[in-house]
Structure 1
Amino acid sequence: MDKKDAGFEREKLYVLPAYIVDELKSHALTRDGHITDIGYFPQARHHFRERPQGCNSHIFIYCASGRGWIQMRDQGVISMTEQSFAYIPMDVPHAYGADENDPWTIYWFHLRGEQIGEFIALLEPFKPCISLLPGDEAKLLELFHQCYDLLVDKPYSVIHQVQVSQSIRYLLSFVASVAVRKQDSKTQRYIDKATRYMSEHLESTITVEELSRHIQISKQHLNFIFKQSTSYSPIDYFLRMKMQRAGQLLDLTSDSIKEIAAALGFQDPYYFSRLFKKIIGCSPTSYRNQLKG
Protein backbone atom coordinates (compact mmCIF):
# COMPACT_ATOMS: atom_id res chain seq x y z
CA MET A 1 0.00 0.00 0.00
CA ASP A 2 1.28 3.47 -0.94
CA LYS A 3 1.36 5.92 1.95
CA LYS A 4 1.67 9.68 2.05
CA ASP A 5 1.19 12.48 4.57
CA ALA A 6 -0.13 15.19 2.27
CA GLY A 7 -0.17 16.34 -1.36
CA PHE A 8 -3.80 15.74 -2.31
CA GLU A 9 -5.57 17.46 -5.19
CA ARG A 10 -7.52 20.55 -4.02
CA GLU A 11 -6.12 20.18 -0.50
CA LYS A 12 -5.94 23.08 1.94
CA LEU A 13 -3.17 23.27 4.49
CA TYR A 14 -1.85 25.99 6.77
CA VAL A 15 0.74 25.72 9.53
CA LEU A 16 1.26 28.73 11.79
CA PRO A 17 4.87 29.93 12.11
CA ALA A 18 6.45 29.03 15.43
CA TYR A 19 6.82 32.65 16.52
CA ILE A 20 3.07 33.25 16.06
CA VAL A 21 2.28 30.12 18.06
CA ASP A 22 4.53 31.47 20.83
CA GLU A 23 2.61 34.76 20.78
CA LEU A 24 -0.72 32.92 20.95
CA LYS A 25 0.57 30.86 23.87
CA SER A 26 1.38 33.99 25.85
CA HIS A 27 -1.65 36.17 24.97
CA ALA A 28 -4.35 36.21 27.65
CA LEU A 29 -7.20 35.75 25.13
CA THR A 30 -5.64 32.94 23.07
CA ARG A 31 -3.47 30.90 25.43
CA ASP A 32 -6.46 28.82 26.57
CA GLY A 33 -6.97 27.43 23.07
CA HIS A 34 -5.37 28.11 19.69
CA ILE A 35 -4.81 26.40 16.35
CA THR A 36 -1.30 25.44 15.31
CA ASP A 37 -2.14 23.53 12.08
CA ILE A 38 -5.31 23.26 10.02
CA GLY A 39 -6.21 21.56 6.76
CA TYR A 40 -8.61 19.88 4.37
CA PHE A 41 -7.74 16.70 2.44
CA PRO A 42 -10.39 15.70 -0.15
CA GLN A 43 -10.59 12.03 -1.21
CA ALA A 44 -7.18 11.55 0.35
CA ARG A 45 -6.14 8.28 -1.29
CA HIS A 46 -3.17 6.63 0.45
CA HIS A 47 -3.27 9.21 3.25
CA PHE A 48 -1.30 7.89 6.21
CA ARG A 49 0.26 9.44 9.29
CA GLU A 50 2.16 7.77 12.12
CA ARG A 51 3.60 9.37 15.24
CA PRO A 52 5.18 6.75 17.54
CA GLN A 53 5.91 9.44 20.16
CA GLY A 54 2.60 11.26 19.80
CA CYS A 55 2.05 14.88 18.80
CA ASN A 56 2.72 18.04 20.79
CA SER A 57 -0.82 19.20 19.98
CA HIS A 58 -4.28 17.69 20.35
CA ILE A 59 -5.53 16.48 16.94
CA PHE A 60 -9.17 16.70 15.81
CA ILE A 61 -10.45 15.03 12.63
CA TYR A 62 -13.84 15.35 10.94
CA CYS A 63 -14.52 12.75 8.24
CA ALA A 64 -17.03 14.34 5.84
CA SER A 65 -17.19 11.41 3.43
CA GLY A 66 -15.48 8.14 2.63
CA ARG A 67 -13.82 6.00 5.27
CA GLY A 68 -10.67 5.94 7.33
CA TRP A 69 -9.25 4.71 10.61
CA ILE A 70 -7.41 5.86 13.73
CA GLN A 71 -5.22 3.68 15.94
CA MET A 72 -4.03 4.90 19.34
CA ARG A 73 -1.77 3.17 21.83
CA ASP A 74 -3.49 0.39 23.80
CA GLN A 75 -6.79 0.94 21.96
CA GLY A 76 -8.58 -0.82 19.17
CA VAL A 77 -8.88 0.65 15.70
CA ILE A 78 -11.45 3.44 15.42
CA SER A 79 -13.37 3.19 12.16
CA MET A 80 -14.21 6.61 10.75
CA THR A 81 -17.17 6.91 8.39
CA GLU A 82 -18.89 9.89 6.83
CA GLN A 83 -19.97 12.68 9.18
CA SER A 84 -17.93 11.40 12.14
CA PHE A 85 -15.71 13.43 14.46
CA ALA A 86 -12.83 12.09 16.56
CA TYR A 87 -9.80 13.35 18.46
CA ILE A 88 -6.32 12.20 19.46
CA PRO A 89 -5.00 13.65 22.73
CA MET A 90 -1.61 15.29 22.91
CA ASP A 91 1.42 12.99 23.38
CA VAL A 92 -0.52 9.77 22.69
CA PRO A 93 1.28 7.53 20.14
CA HIS A 94 -0.96 6.99 17.13
CA ALA A 95 -1.42 6.32 13.45
CA TYR A 96 -4.29 7.09 11.09
CA GLY A 97 -5.09 6.79 7.44
CA ALA A 98 -7.61 6.59 4.63
CA ASP A 99 -9.47 3.46 3.60
CA GLU A 100 -7.86 1.88 0.53
CA ASN A 101 -11.10 1.49 -1.41
CA ASP A 102 -13.11 4.48 -0.19
CA PRO A 103 -10.62 7.14 0.95
CA TRP A 104 -11.87 9.73 3.38
CA THR A 105 -12.34 13.45 2.91
CA ILE A 106 -11.26 15.08 6.15
CA TYR A 107 -11.18 18.45 7.83
CA TRP A 108 -8.60 18.53 10.59
CA PHE A 109 -6.88 20.86 13.02
CA HIS A 110 -4.28 20.72 15.79
CA LEU A 111 -4.91 22.62 19.02
CA ARG A 112 -2.88 23.65 22.03
CA GLY A 113 -3.92 25.58 25.10
CA GLU A 114 -4.77 25.37 28.74
CA GLN A 115 -8.48 24.62 28.15
CA ILE A 116 -8.29 22.07 25.33
CA GLY A 117 -7.91 19.19 27.78
CA GLU A 118 -11.16 20.32 29.40
CA PHE A 119 -12.94 20.21 26.05
CA ILE A 120 -11.59 16.70 25.50
CA ALA A 121 -13.05 15.75 28.89
CA LEU A 122 -16.45 16.91 27.59
CA LEU A 123 -16.09 14.67 24.54
CA GLU A 124 -14.62 11.69 26.44
CA PRO A 125 -17.98 10.01 27.33
CA PHE A 126 -18.87 9.82 23.63
CA LYS A 127 -15.69 8.29 22.23
CA PRO A 128 -14.48 6.70 20.05
CA CYS A 129 -16.21 9.11 17.66
CA ILE A 130 -19.28 11.32 17.39
CA SER A 131 -21.69 11.12 14.45
CA LEU A 132 -23.17 14.35 13.12
CA LEU A 133 -26.39 14.98 11.20
CA PRO A 134 -26.33 17.01 7.93
CA GLY A 135 -27.50 20.17 9.72
CA ASP A 136 -24.80 19.72 12.34
CA GLU A 137 -22.17 19.23 9.64
CA ALA A 138 -23.12 22.52 7.99
CA LYS A 139 -22.51 24.39 11.24
CA LEU A 140 -19.21 22.62 11.92
CA LEU A 141 -17.90 23.36 8.42
CA GLU A 142 -19.01 26.99 8.64
CA LEU A 143 -16.90 27.40 11.78
CA PHE A 144 -13.99 25.46 10.26
CA HIS A 145 -13.88 27.62 7.12
CA GLN A 146 -14.20 30.77 9.20
CA CYS A 147 -11.10 29.76 11.18
CA TYR A 148 -9.15 28.65 8.11
CA ASP A 149 -9.90 31.79 6.10
CA LEU A 150 -9.01 34.12 8.96
CA LEU A 151 -5.72 32.32 9.60
CA VAL A 152 -4.72 32.40 5.93
CA ASP A 153 -5.86 35.97 5.22
CA LYS A 154 -5.00 37.70 8.50
CA PRO A 155 -2.42 35.61 10.38
CA TYR A 156 -0.70 38.65 11.94
CA SER A 157 -3.85 40.33 13.25
CA VAL A 158 -4.26 39.92 17.01
CA ILE A 159 -8.01 40.55 16.95
CA HIS A 160 -8.52 37.93 14.23
CA GLN A 161 -6.40 35.42 16.11
CA VAL A 162 -8.64 36.04 19.12
CA GLN A 163 -11.68 35.44 16.90
CA VAL A 164 -10.20 32.16 15.67
CA SER A 165 -9.49 31.08 19.24
CA GLN A 166 -13.08 31.78 20.27
CA SER A 167 -14.52 30.14 17.13
CA ILE A 168 -12.58 26.91 17.47
CA ARG A 169 -13.61 26.54 21.13
CA TYR A 170 -17.21 27.18 20.06
CA LEU A 171 -16.79 24.42 17.44
CA LEU A 172 -15.70 21.96 20.14
CA SER A 173 -18.52 22.92 22.48
CA PHE A 174 -20.96 22.59 19.57
CA VAL A 175 -19.76 19.05 18.84
CA ALA A 176 -20.11 18.20 22.54
CA SER A 177 -23.67 19.55 22.54
CA VAL A 178 -24.51 17.41 19.51
CA ALA A 179 -23.23 14.35 21.35
CA VAL A 180 -25.30 15.17 24.43
CA ARG A 181 -28.40 15.75 22.30
CA LYS A 182 -27.99 12.32 20.77
CA GLN A 183 -27.80 10.53 24.11
CA ASP A 184 -30.25 7.78 24.83
CA SER A 185 -33.72 9.37 24.78
CA LYS A 186 -34.80 7.05 27.58
CA THR A 187 -32.14 8.55 29.84
CA GLN A 188 -33.44 12.04 29.12
CA ARG A 189 -36.98 10.91 29.87
CA TYR A 190 -35.79 9.64 33.27
CA ILE A 191 -34.13 13.01 34.00
CA ASP A 192 -37.24 14.93 32.91
CA LYS A 193 -39.52 12.75 35.01
CA ALA A 194 -37.28 13.18 38.06
CA THR A 195 -37.02 16.97 37.74
CA ARG A 196 -40.78 17.30 37.27
CA TYR A 197 -41.30 15.31 40.47
CA MET A 198 -38.79 17.53 42.26
CA SER A 199 -40.51 20.67 41.01
CA GLU A 200 -43.86 19.41 42.30
CA HIS A 201 -42.42 18.67 45.77
CA LEU A 202 -40.24 21.70 46.52
CA GLU A 203 -42.06 22.12 49.84
CA SER A 204 -41.11 18.59 50.88
CA THR A 205 -38.06 16.52 51.71
CA ILE A 206 -37.49 13.73 49.22
CA THR A 207 -34.94 10.92 49.14
CA VAL A 208 -33.10 9.08 46.40
CA GLU A 209 -35.13 5.99 47.29
CA GLU A 210 -38.36 7.90 46.76
CA LEU A 211 -37.17 9.25 43.42
CA SER A 212 -35.96 5.89 42.19
CA ARG A 213 -39.32 4.28 43.08
CA HIS A 214 -41.18 7.03 41.24
CA ILE A 215 -39.04 6.71 38.11
CA GLN A 216 -38.73 2.93 38.42
CA ILE A 217 -34.98 2.65 38.08
CA SER A 218 -32.31 1.70 40.62
CA LYS A 219 -30.74 4.26 42.95
CA GLN A 220 -27.34 3.54 41.42
CA HIS A 221 -28.55 4.19 37.89
CA LEU A 222 -30.41 7.33 38.97
CA ASN A 223 -27.24 8.71 40.56
CA PHE A 224 -25.21 7.80 37.48
CA ILE A 225 -27.46 9.49 34.93
CA PHE A 226 -27.82 12.63 37.06
CA LYS A 227 -24.07 12.96 37.53
CA GLN A 228 -23.53 12.37 33.81
CA SER A 229 -26.24 14.82 32.67
CA THR A 230 -26.09 17.58 35.30
CA SER A 231 -22.79 17.08 37.23
CA TYR A 232 -24.86 16.89 40.44
CA SER A 233 -26.35 14.06 42.45
CA PRO A 234 -30.19 13.98 42.47
CA ILE A 235 -30.41 15.44 45.99
CA ASP A 236 -27.86 18.18 45.23
CA TYR A 237 -29.89 19.07 42.17
CA PHE A 238 -33.10 19.13 44.23
CA LEU A 239 -31.53 21.47 46.81
CA ARG A 240 -30.42 23.81 44.05
CA MET A 241 -33.97 23.86 42.72
CA LYS A 242 -35.15 24.79 46.20
CA MET A 243 -32.62 27.64 46.44
CA GLN A 244 -33.63 28.90 43.01
CA ARG A 245 -37.25 29.00 44.19
CA ALA A 246 -36.14 30.69 47.41
CA GLY A 247 -34.51 33.44 45.34
CA GLN A 248 -37.79 33.98 43.49
CA LEU A 249 -39.71 34.24 46.77
CA LEU A 250 -37.16 36.71 48.14
CA ASP A 251 -37.53 38.83 45.01
CA LEU A 252 -41.29 38.63 44.54
CA THR A 253 -42.76 38.51 48.07
CA SER A 254 -42.35 40.24 51.38
CA ASP A 255 -42.36 36.92 53.27
CA SER A 256 -39.81 36.62 56.04
CA ILE A 257 -36.81 34.33 55.66
CA LYS A 258 -38.36 32.04 58.27
CA GLU A 259 -41.60 31.85 56.23
CA ILE A 260 -39.71 31.15 53.00
CA ALA A 261 -37.65 28.44 54.70
CA ALA A 262 -40.83 26.78 56.00
CA ALA A 263 -42.48 27.02 52.57
CA LEU A 264 -39.58 25.04 51.13
CA GLY A 265 -39.62 22.35 53.80
CA PHE A 266 -36.88 23.66 56.11
CA GLN A 267 -37.78 23.57 59.81
CA ASP A 268 -34.56 25.36 60.77
CA PRO A 269 -34.27 28.82 59.15
CA TYR A 270 -30.60 29.05 60.16
CA TYR A 271 -29.79 25.85 58.27
CA PHE A 272 -31.78 27.22 55.31
CA SER A 273 -29.75 30.46 55.39
CA ARG A 274 -26.42 28.58 55.52
CA LEU A 275 -27.46 26.37 52.60
CA PHE A 276 -28.69 29.38 50.60
CA LYS A 277 -25.34 31.14 51.10
CA LYS A 278 -23.39 28.02 50.18
CA ILE A 279 -25.27 27.54 46.91
CA ILE A 280 -26.14 31.11 45.86
CA GLY A 281 -23.04 32.79 47.28
CA CYS A 282 -24.62 35.27 49.68
CA SER A 283 -27.08 35.29 52.56
CA PRO A 284 -30.84 35.54 51.89
CA THR A 285 -30.85 39.05 53.37
CA SER A 286 -27.97 40.20 51.14
CA TYR A 287 -29.65 38.62 48.13
CA ARG A 288 -32.94 40.41 48.84
CA ASN A 289 -31.16 43.76 49.22
CA GLN A 290 -29.41 43.51 45.85
CA LEU A 291 -30.77 45.77 43.09
CA LYS A 292 -32.12 43.70 40.22
CA GLY A 293 -33.49 44.41 36.79
Structure 2
Amino acid sequence: MERTFIKYFVNNSMGPDKNISSVGFEEIPSGSSYPTLNHSAGYYFNADKGRVLREYQLVYVTNGEGVLETENGGVFSIKRGMIFVLFPGEWHTYYPNYETGWSHYWIGFGGSEVEGWIKRGYCSKETPVFKVGINDEIVSLFRKAIYVANEEQSLYQQVLSGLVVYLVALMCSIDKNRCVGNGDFSSKIDYACVLMRELVEQSVSMQEIAVKSGMGYSLFRKLFKERMLCAPVQYFLSLKIQKAVELLTATTIPVKEIAYQLSFDSPAYFSARFKKQMGKSPVEYREEYSSK
Protein backbone atom coordinates (compact mmCIF):
# COMPACT_ATOMS: atom_id res chain seq x y z
CA MET A 1 0.00 0.00 0.00
CA GLU A 2 1.04 3.61 -0.52
CA ARG A 3 2.77 5.21 2.46
CA THR A 4 -0.10 7.67 2.73
CA PHE A 5 -3.78 7.53 1.83
CA ILE A 6 -6.09 10.09 3.39
CA LYS A 7 -9.70 10.71 2.43
CA TYR A 8 -11.89 13.31 4.14
CA PHE A 9 -15.54 13.58 3.20
CA VAL A 10 -15.86 17.33 3.49
CA ASN A 11 -19.30 18.88 3.87
CA ASN A 12 -20.45 15.55 5.23
CA SER A 13 -23.59 16.22 7.24
CA MET A 14 -23.14 12.98 9.25
CA GLY A 15 -26.84 12.31 8.81
CA PRO A 16 -28.55 8.91 8.65
CA ASP A 17 -27.06 8.12 5.23
CA LYS A 18 -23.68 9.79 5.74
CA ASN A 19 -21.91 8.42 8.78
CA ILE A 20 -18.29 8.22 7.63
CA SER A 21 -16.13 11.32 7.92
CA SER A 22 -12.65 10.07 7.03
CA VAL A 23 -10.59 7.01 6.10
CA GLY A 24 -6.82 6.78 5.98
CA PHE A 25 -3.47 5.11 6.33
CA GLU A 26 -0.12 6.72 7.12
CA GLU A 27 3.36 5.32 7.56
CA ILE A 28 5.36 7.62 9.83
CA PRO A 29 9.10 6.77 9.64
CA SER A 30 11.27 7.07 12.74
CA GLY A 31 12.65 10.53 13.28
CA SER A 32 9.67 12.22 11.58
CA SER A 33 7.56 15.07 12.92
CA TYR A 34 3.94 14.28 13.74
CA PRO A 35 1.21 14.91 12.74
CA THR A 36 2.04 15.34 9.05
CA LEU A 37 0.67 18.28 7.07
CA ASN A 38 -1.61 16.09 4.94
CA HIS A 39 -4.76 16.55 6.98
CA SER A 40 -7.88 18.61 6.43
CA ALA A 41 -8.71 21.67 8.53
CA GLY A 42 -10.36 20.55 11.76
CA TYR A 43 -8.35 17.32 11.87
CA TYR A 44 -4.76 18.51 11.94
CA PHE A 45 -3.63 19.07 15.53
CA ASN A 46 -0.64 19.97 17.65
CA ALA A 47 0.44 16.86 19.54
CA ASP A 48 1.30 18.92 22.63
CA LYS A 49 -2.07 20.70 22.73
CA GLY A 50 -4.30 17.87 21.52
CA ARG A 51 -7.75 18.31 20.01
CA VAL A 52 -11.47 17.48 20.29
CA LEU A 53 -13.36 15.73 17.47
CA ARG A 54 -17.06 15.76 16.63
CA GLU A 55 -17.10 12.06 15.73
CA TYR A 56 -15.64 8.71 16.74
CA GLN A 57 -12.40 7.41 15.26
CA LEU A 58 -10.82 3.96 15.29
CA VAL A 59 -7.02 4.06 15.03
CA TYR A 60 -5.17 0.78 14.39
CA VAL A 61 -1.38 0.72 14.84
CA THR A 62 0.20 -2.04 12.74
CA ASN A 63 3.85 -1.16 13.25
CA GLY A 64 5.91 0.87 15.72
CA GLU A 65 4.64 2.26 19.00
CA GLY A 66 3.61 5.50 20.63
CA VAL A 67 1.39 7.23 23.21
CA LEU A 68 -2.32 7.98 23.58
CA GLU A 69 -3.60 10.43 26.18
CA THR A 70 -7.29 11.15 26.74
CA GLU A 71 -9.25 13.33 29.13
CA ASN A 72 -11.02 10.45 30.88
CA GLY A 73 -8.64 7.56 30.37
CA GLY A 74 -5.25 9.09 31.10
CA VAL A 75 -2.05 8.00 29.38
CA PHE A 76 -1.73 4.73 27.46
CA SER A 77 1.34 3.12 25.90
CA ILE A 78 0.33 2.09 22.39
CA LYS A 79 2.11 -0.81 20.73
CA ARG A 80 1.82 -2.68 17.45
CA GLY A 81 -1.47 -4.57 17.25
CA MET A 82 -3.58 -2.17 19.29
CA ILE A 83 -6.72 -0.28 18.24
CA PHE A 84 -7.79 2.77 20.19
CA VAL A 85 -11.11 4.61 20.09
CA LEU A 86 -11.35 8.39 20.04
CA PHE A 87 -14.66 9.70 21.38
CA PRO A 88 -16.56 12.77 20.16
CA GLY A 89 -16.34 15.74 22.49
CA GLU A 90 -13.39 14.34 24.45
CA TRP A 91 -9.96 15.96 24.47
CA HIS A 92 -7.16 13.65 23.34
CA THR A 93 -3.72 13.55 21.82
CA TYR A 94 -1.63 10.73 20.33
CA TYR A 95 1.68 10.37 18.55
CA PRO A 96 4.32 7.78 17.60
CA ASN A 97 7.60 7.45 19.48
CA TYR A 98 10.24 9.50 17.70
CA GLU A 99 12.66 6.55 17.71
CA THR A 100 10.25 4.01 16.17
CA GLY A 101 7.63 5.89 14.18
CA TRP A 102 4.49 3.92 13.41
CA SER A 103 2.09 2.80 10.69
CA HIS A 104 -1.59 3.30 11.39
CA TYR A 105 -5.00 3.00 9.78
CA TRP A 106 -8.02 5.00 10.89
CA ILE A 107 -11.66 5.58 10.11
CA GLY A 108 -13.88 8.37 11.46
CA PHE A 109 -17.59 7.73 11.92
CA GLY A 110 -20.88 8.46 13.65
CA GLY A 111 -24.26 6.77 13.50
CA SER A 112 -26.69 5.21 15.93
CA GLU A 113 -25.82 1.57 15.17
CA VAL A 114 -22.16 1.88 16.15
CA GLU A 115 -22.98 4.22 19.00
CA GLY A 116 -25.22 1.46 20.34
CA TRP A 117 -22.17 -0.78 20.68
CA ILE A 118 -20.37 1.97 22.56
CA LYS A 119 -23.26 2.69 24.90
CA ARG A 120 -23.77 -0.99 25.74
CA GLY A 121 -20.39 -0.95 27.40
CA TYR A 122 -18.25 -2.75 24.87
CA CYS A 123 -15.81 0.14 25.18
CA SER A 124 -15.70 3.30 27.24
CA LYS A 125 -13.81 6.56 27.55
CA GLU A 126 -11.95 5.07 30.50
CA THR A 127 -10.84 1.97 28.54
CA PRO A 128 -10.44 3.01 24.89
CA VAL A 129 -7.60 0.61 23.94
CA PHE A 130 -8.14 -2.84 22.42
CA LYS A 131 -5.45 -5.49 22.03
CA VAL A 132 -6.26 -7.28 18.80
CA GLY A 133 -2.76 -8.15 17.59
CA ILE A 134 -1.75 -7.96 13.95
CA ASN A 135 -4.96 -9.40 12.60
CA ASP A 136 -5.19 -10.02 8.86
CA GLU A 137 -8.98 -9.75 8.81
CA ILE A 138 -8.93 -6.37 10.53
CA VAL A 139 -6.26 -5.08 8.15
CA SER A 140 -8.35 -6.33 5.23
CA LEU A 141 -11.38 -4.44 6.52
CA PHE A 142 -9.44 -1.19 6.81
CA ARG A 143 -8.00 -1.70 3.33
CA LYS A 144 -11.46 -2.45 1.95
CA ALA A 145 -12.72 0.77 3.54
CA ILE A 146 -9.90 2.69 1.83
CA TYR A 147 -10.77 1.11 -1.52
CA VAL A 148 -14.49 1.90 -1.14
CA ALA A 149 -13.74 5.45 -0.05
CA ASN A 150 -11.44 6.02 -2.98
CA GLU A 151 -13.97 4.74 -5.53
CA GLU A 152 -17.04 6.53 -4.05
CA GLN A 153 -19.44 4.31 -5.96
CA SER A 154 -23.18 4.31 -5.34
CA LEU A 155 -24.12 3.69 -1.67
CA TYR A 156 -20.44 3.82 -0.61
CA GLN A 157 -21.36 5.48 2.71
CA GLN A 158 -23.68 2.60 3.57
CA VAL A 159 -20.96 0.09 2.67
CA LEU A 160 -18.45 1.95 4.85
CA SER A 161 -20.93 2.10 7.73
CA GLY A 162 -21.38 -1.66 7.53
CA LEU A 163 -17.63 -2.17 7.58
CA VAL A 164 -17.34 -0.02 10.70
CA VAL A 165 -20.04 -1.98 12.52
CA TYR A 166 -18.18 -5.20 11.74
CA LEU A 167 -14.84 -3.67 12.73
CA VAL A 168 -16.15 -2.58 16.12
CA ALA A 169 -17.77 -5.95 16.79
CA LEU A 170 -14.66 -7.84 15.69
CA MET A 171 -12.20 -5.79 17.73
CA CYS A 172 -14.37 -6.12 20.83
CA SER A 173 -14.68 -9.88 20.34
CA ILE A 174 -10.95 -10.41 19.79
CA ASP A 175 -9.99 -8.25 22.75
CA LYS A 176 -12.39 -9.95 25.14
CA ASN A 177 -11.60 -13.48 23.95
CA ARG A 178 -7.89 -13.19 23.37
CA CYS A 179 -5.83 -15.91 24.97
CA VAL A 180 -2.31 -15.86 26.29
CA GLY A 181 -0.03 -18.88 26.24
CA ASN A 182 0.74 -20.39 22.84
CA GLY A 183 -0.64 -17.54 20.73
CA ASP A 184 2.75 -16.04 19.90
CA PHE A 185 3.35 -18.05 16.72
CA SER A 186 -0.22 -17.39 15.62
CA SER A 187 0.26 -13.64 15.97
CA LYS A 188 3.52 -13.86 14.02
CA ILE A 189 1.76 -15.57 11.11
CA ASP A 190 -0.94 -12.89 11.23
CA TYR A 191 1.79 -10.26 11.13
CA ALA A 192 3.38 -12.00 8.12
CA CYS A 193 0.05 -11.88 6.28
CA VAL A 194 -0.27 -8.18 7.01
CA LEU A 195 3.30 -7.57 5.84
CA MET A 196 2.54 -9.30 2.56
CA ARG A 197 -0.51 -7.08 2.04
CA GLU A 198 1.54 -3.98 2.77
CA LEU A 199 4.33 -5.09 0.40
CA VAL A 200 2.07 -6.52 -2.31
CA GLU A 201 3.50 -4.21 -4.99
CA GLN A 202 7.10 -5.04 -4.15
CA SER A 203 9.43 -7.91 -4.94
CA VAL A 204 10.14 -9.45 -1.56
CA SER A 205 11.32 -12.94 -0.65
CA MET A 206 9.56 -15.15 1.86
CA GLN A 207 12.86 -15.39 3.74
CA GLU A 208 12.63 -11.62 4.30
CA ILE A 209 9.05 -11.95 5.49
CA ALA A 210 10.10 -14.70 7.90
CA VAL A 211 12.89 -12.56 9.35
CA LYS A 212 10.58 -9.54 9.74
CA SER A 213 8.07 -11.81 11.49
CA GLY A 214 10.69 -13.02 13.96
CA MET A 215 11.09 -16.62 12.74
CA GLY A 216 13.49 -18.81 10.85
CA TYR A 217 12.28 -19.65 7.34
CA SER A 218 11.75 -23.39 7.85
CA LEU A 219 9.57 -22.90 10.92
CA PHE A 220 7.80 -19.97 9.29
CA ARG A 221 6.92 -21.98 6.16
CA LYS A 222 5.68 -24.95 8.24
CA LEU A 223 3.48 -22.84 10.54
CA PHE A 224 2.23 -20.71 7.67
CA LYS A 225 1.02 -23.76 5.72
CA GLU A 226 -0.68 -25.12 8.84
CA ARG A 227 -2.47 -21.83 9.50
CA MET A 228 -3.24 -20.62 5.96
CA LEU A 229 -3.43 -23.99 4.15
CA CYS A 230 -0.99 -22.86 1.45
CA ALA A 231 2.68 -21.99 1.13
CA PRO A 232 3.71 -18.37 1.86
CA VAL A 233 4.76 -17.69 -1.74
CA GLN A 234 1.38 -18.95 -3.02
CA TYR A 235 -0.41 -16.66 -0.58
CA PHE A 236 1.70 -13.69 -1.67
CA LEU A 237 1.04 -14.38 -5.36
CA SER A 238 -2.68 -14.67 -4.61
CA LEU A 239 -2.59 -11.23 -2.96
CA LYS A 240 -0.87 -9.81 -6.04
CA ILE A 241 -3.59 -11.24 -8.28
CA GLN A 242 -6.28 -9.76 -5.99
CA LYS A 243 -4.58 -6.38 -6.32
CA ALA A 244 -4.41 -6.84 -10.09
CA VAL A 245 -8.17 -7.46 -10.14
CA GLU A 246 -8.71 -4.12 -8.40
CA LEU A 247 -6.47 -2.31 -10.88
CA LEU A 248 -8.02 -4.01 -13.92
CA THR A 249 -11.61 -3.26 -12.91
CA ALA A 250 -11.21 0.19 -11.36
CA THR A 251 -8.50 1.83 -13.50
CA THR A 252 -7.36 2.05 -17.12
CA ILE A 253 -3.71 1.28 -16.34
CA PRO A 254 -2.33 -0.90 -19.19
CA VAL A 255 -1.89 -4.58 -18.39
CA LYS A 256 1.85 -4.34 -19.00
CA GLU A 257 2.17 -1.53 -16.42
CA ILE A 258 0.09 -3.46 -13.89
CA ALA A 259 2.48 -6.40 -14.27
CA TYR A 260 5.50 -4.23 -13.53
CA GLN A 261 3.70 -2.27 -10.78
CA LEU A 262 3.10 -5.56 -8.96
CA SER A 263 6.74 -6.64 -9.51
CA PHE A 264 6.06 -9.64 -11.73
CA ASP A 265 9.10 -10.79 -13.70
CA SER A 266 7.37 -10.11 -17.02
CA PRO A 267 3.92 -9.29 -18.44
CA ALA A 268 3.78 -12.80 -19.89
CA TYR A 269 4.37 -14.40 -16.48
CA PHE A 270 1.78 -12.08 -14.93
CA SER A 271 -0.81 -13.03 -17.55
CA ALA A 272 -0.13 -16.75 -17.05
CA ARG A 273 -0.45 -16.49 -13.24
CA PHE A 274 -3.60 -14.37 -13.55
CA LYS A 275 -5.31 -16.79 -15.95
CA LYS A 276 -4.40 -19.76 -13.75
CA GLN A 277 -6.06 -18.16 -10.70
CA MET A 278 -8.94 -16.28 -12.32
CA GLY A 279 -9.73 -18.45 -15.35
CA LYS A 280 -9.39 -15.54 -17.77
CA SER A 281 -6.50 -13.49 -19.09
CA PRO A 282 -6.11 -9.96 -17.69
CA VAL A 283 -7.43 -8.49 -20.95
CA GLU A 284 -10.45 -10.80 -20.97
CA TYR A 285 -11.15 -10.09 -17.30
CA ARG A 286 -11.01 -6.32 -17.84
CA GLU A 287 -13.33 -6.49 -20.85
CA GLU A 288 -15.93 -8.42 -18.85
CA TYR A 289 -15.78 -6.75 -15.44
CA SER A 290 -14.26 -3.27 -15.79
CA SER A 291 -16.24 -0.40 -14.31
CA LYS A 292 -14.17 2.21 -16.17
The higher radius of gyration belongs to: 1
1:96 shift after superposition: 1.1
3-state DSSP of counterpart to 1:96:
strand
Q: Name the residue aligned to 1:190.
A: none
Change (3 A) 1:75 1:171: closer
Match of 1:47 among 20, 34, 41: 34
Aligned to 2:23: 38
Q: Which residue of 2 aligns with 1:13?
A: 6
Partner of 1:69: 67
How many corresponding residue pairs? 165
CA apart distance, 1:90 = 0.5
Name the CA distance, whole Å, in 2 between partners of 1:85 and 1:177. Answer: 13
Contact 1:46 1:103 in 2 (8 A): no
| TM value normalised by structure 1 | 0.51
Distance 2:86 2:28 in 1: 21
Residue 180 (structure 1) aligns with: 176
One-letter identity of the residue aligned with 1:131: K
Structure 2 letter corresponding to 1:46: S
* Cα 1:143–1:53 shift into 2, 3 Å: closer
Report the Cα offset of residue 127 of structure 1: 2.5
Per-residue CA deviations over 1:112-133 (Å, capped at 9, x if unaligned) read 1123333233123993422223
> Unpaired segments of 5 or more residues in structure 2?
36-44, 182-292
Q: 1:75 to 1:165 in 2, by over 3 A?
A: closer
State the percentage of identical aligned residues: 16
Pick aligned residue for 2:165 from 164, 169, 177: 169
Q: Secondary structure at the match of 2:109?
A: strand
Whether the 8 Å CA contact 1:140–1:171 is kept in 2: the answer is yes
* Pairwise CA RMSD: 2.6
Q: Give TM-score, length-normalised by structure 2.
A: 0.51
2:131 counterpart letter in structure 1: S
SS in 1 for 2:89: coil
Higher helix share: 1
Distance 1:98 1:53, change over 3 A: closer
The CA deviation string for residues 12-35 of structure 1, in whole angstroms up to 9 with x for no partner, is 1000131xx22x6133xx6xxx32
In structure 1, stretches of 5+ residues that fail to align are 1-8, 186-293
Q: Which residue is equivalent to 2:132?
A: 132
Q: CA deviation at 1:71?
A: 1.1
Once residues 125 and 56 of structure 2 are traced to their aligned partners in structure 1, the CA distance between those partners, rounded to angstroms, is 17
Mapping of 1:72-111 within 5 angstroms?
A: 72-111=70-109
Per the alignment, do residues 52 and 96 of structure 1 end up closer, same or farther by CA in structure 2, a change over 3 Å counting? closer
Q: 1 CA distance for matches of 2:9 and 2:125? A: 31
Question: 1:144: Cα distance to partner?
Answer: 0.8
Paired residue for 2:122? 122
